[in-house]
Structure 1
Amino acid sequence: MVNDPKILLADEPTGNLDSVSTQQVMDKIDEINTFDRRTVIMVSHNAAHLSYAHRVYYLKDGLIVREVVNPQRKQIKPVREGETIVTELEQLARLFPYDSVDTLRVKSMVNFLTQDYTYRQLTRLEHAIVLFIKGKIDREAFIKSLILPYEKGGVEVPEAEAKKMAGITEKLISQSDDIRRFRARKDNDDIFFSQDKLAERLRDHLVGMFHIRLTKEQNSNLVELIADRVTGVIEEDQFNQTLMQTVKNDGLGLDEKEADELTRYFEKIIAQGVDVSYKS
């Protein structure tokens, strides 16, 4: 800045920084652009930075393959009428910055065919769930945030559906907390006793959730399956397949639809209850 440049080039300026330092650097870059009126050209692989830019250019092999105008920022470069149109693809591009335009179109179509809510509503829903999981809002506030019209900052979900979502979320949180507490004590001497107790509690929850009537042998088999899955002895596919096997083969004899639904729900509990870290 000593020579008062009109253009600043920032090549991965936050590449090796922690989250706090990254935020400070990005805020400073935004300040230089907004108040000092300097043009900033930044190279980044972090999708979280896209919201700062007026325009995003995607490059492949040195060539610009896509230009996206950020509708959330006032454009300095004039945009001729009809030259560009803001669509759902721009929002998807921020969520999936490395996908091609064709892939984004497919995602948009799949969302329409399988979801009752738009990506904007889902983003709002994610934010509300984060607050609920962290205990920053209670059940009533969570439901209210879902019911509120979108224009007022809500998700705009029907009241009955919002209450259903809150109930399921509470149950998932409760059961996943049980798994988390168990795994935190995995080095204790009474781990096997705790493992059986945990599996029995999870068994009771699943049986009640799916209204399944089990024989004594099926109950025993399900407890064993749950214990093996929670401790990582078996993977999701094996858990699912065993649910469909006969009782004599340590299964429950469920049909494919029942097994798939139970597995899908149980995996959500495990995903919430097991602490993992991923290398970037």
Structure 2
Amino acid sequence: MKPQIKIKNLSVTYFKGKSNEVRALQNINLEIFPGEFVIFFGPSGCGKSTLMYSIAGLEKGIDGEIFIDEQNIKDMSTKQFEEYHQKKIGMIFQAYYLISSLSVAKNVMLPQIAIGGDKKERSEKADKLLKHFGVYEQKGKLPQELSGGQQQRVAICRSLINEPDIIFADEPVGNLDSKSSEDVMELLAKLNSEQKKTIILVTHDSRHLDLADRVFYLKDGKHEQTKANRKIFQPKRQLLPEEKESYEKLRQTYKKLDDVDDNVSLEYYKAKNIATEILIGLSVDEMEGIEQRIDQLLSSGSGNYDPIFSYLDKGNKQGGLDMDVRTAKKLTKKFGELSRIIHEFSKEVINPGEHAENVRQYLYTEFEIKSKNQKIDDLVNKVILKRLENDIDKDEFEKILDKAKSKGGAGFDSRLAHKMARRMELIMLGKYQLMMRQPSKKLELIDRKETDNQDES
């Protein structure tokens, strides 16, 4: 599949040659494929809107080349340029840009009027869109009589009435409340998934990034990096005859290789495999096998660790990792202990003092800490409880463990404190999952002396 949009060495400079010269874009190169949802992301002034308007053909005096379906925008005739604006693209703006003196219906029909659309047909198209986007009942009203969310829905209808292939959305939810913002972003996502429209969204809000297939990060007019959330719409290159045998042998080891569709994903897959193999001696596929079994363990809360042990212990030919029995048992025990600590949060009655104590004992066992100082143990219990209650964050937790005893800390080695803090965050991650499924329970510190007195009585 060929790119729908291709940008080569694009630069945009305002007030060129003057003392107030601004280099809005610098040497941008990227491709966008049909049906993609992409986001231009970055802080205000980074050039993301300039990039979008350049593709839309609204920026003048650009350097470089922009191709739409392999045609250079600079080479378009006046008629071709008009058709590009009127039929190929649709625009959605932050400020809506609805004409206040025209009804909602007439605002939606304006692009059809511009191309000489049949009066009856354009009215039917407008009604259909207004019904689809839930603003049909407002068709006779003026824009200012509608809420912000309703006005943006009308603007979306207007952008779609000429059935464009590409939708440009420039900060479309910037003036909306959170509920209306979610609604509009959901509509854009549906336009992409259901109608296969190419969506180019400009935003500085990181909450929307997961919607995109790819995110282009911009800073100071430069394309800093691209991150892919999903597969890029570029088909896998056909293998040459001399490559097929090599590929078939390789995929016996790397079964997920079949899911890699493009060079960006391939490089990421290579990097991930190299990192896991060098650091822990496992492939990505083997890691995913472990992850799936841990996920089952956490989800069920059954305490059945057999599937994990079996996967670690089985031979390679049986689909396992072929670890020796002792190592498999040791790792299974580690997974089990962490799972047990996490699942304490799911109990109906939580004794916070006891739970903090259990977490401390788990950390001490895991990191082979032998303590004979009750005062330090009590301090660690308290700092664990503070982290469990979100009174402190990871850095503060680590800082107290690392701080010298003479200054009120636990006096642990800095590397040990760091490892304990990281493991504590794993417990917090598990807690977060489980607490989402049940009512919030406020943990309170139970004084050790008070507990001891109760036990004695």
TM-score by length of 1: 0.60
Query: Whose relative contact order is higher, 1 or 2, with alpha carbons under 8 Å and at least 6 apart?
Result: 2
Q: Of 129, 154, 159, which aligns to 2:320?
A: 154
Q: Match for 1:235: what amino acid?
A: D
Q: Which residue does 1:257 correspond to in 2? A: 415
Q: Match for 2:360: what amino acid?
A: R
Q: Match for 1:82: what amino acid?
A: E
Q: Which residue does 1:175 correspond to in 2? A: 341
Identity of aligned residues (%): 16
Give CA deviations for 1:53-97 in whole Å, capped at 9, x if unaligned: xxx9734xxxx4x6267xxxxxxxxx5413565457883795899
Q: Which residue does 2:293 correspond to in 1? A: 128
Aligned residues: 208
Give CA deviations for 1:211-267 in whole Å, capped at 9, x if unaligned: 331423212211111011011111111111211102243320111121122222222
Distance (Å, rounded) in 2 between the aligned partners of 1:250 and 1:207: 20
Q: Does the aligned pair in 2 maintain the 1:58–1:67 contact within 8 Å?
A: no
Q: Of 376, 385, 389, which aligns to 1:218?
A: 376
Distance (Å, rounded) in 2 between the aligned partners of 1:124 and 1:224: 37
TM-score by length of 2: 0.39
**Mapping of 1:86-105 within 5 angstroms?**
86=247, 91=256, 94=259, 100-105=265-270
Q: Which residue does 2:430 correspond to in 1? A: 272
Q: Match for 1:219: what amino acid?
A: D
Matched, 1:200 2:369: no
Q: Which residue does 1:29 correspond to in 2? A: none
Give CA deviations for 1:91-137 in whole Å, capped at 9, x if unaligned: 37958999554444332322232021111211222223233342578
Q: Which residue does 1:228 correspond to in 2? A: 386
Distance (Å, rounded) in 2 between the aligned partners of 1:97 and 1:212: 51
- Compared with structure 1, are the counterparts of its residues 114 and 219 closer, same or farther at alpha carbon in structure 2 (3 Å cutoff)? same
Report deviation, 1:203: 2.1
Distance (Å, rounded) in 1 between the aligned partners of 2:261 and 2:409: 40
Distance (Å, rounded) in 2 between the aligned partners of 1:166 and 1:245: 33
Q: Secondary structure at 1:234's aligned position in 2?
A: coil
Q: Of 373, 398, 409, which aligns to 1:240?
A: 398
Distance (Å, rounded) in 2 between the aligned partners of 1:250 and 1:123: 42
Distance (Å, rounded) in 2 between the aligned partners of 1:239 and 1:122: 29
Q: Secondary structure at 2:236's aligned position in 1?
A: strand
Q: Match for 1:223: what amino acid?
A: N
Q: CA RMSD in A?
A: 3.9
Q: Match for 2:232: what amino acid?
A: Y
- Compared with structure 1, are the counterparts of its residues 270 and 156 closer, same or farther at alpha carbon in structure 2 (3 Å cutoff)? same
Q: Secondary structure at 1:117's aligned position in 2?
A: coil
Q: Does the aligned pair in 1 maintain the 2:338–2:427 contact within 8 Å?
A: yes
Q: Match for 1:225: what amino acid?
A: V
Q: Match for 1:200: what amino acid?
A: E
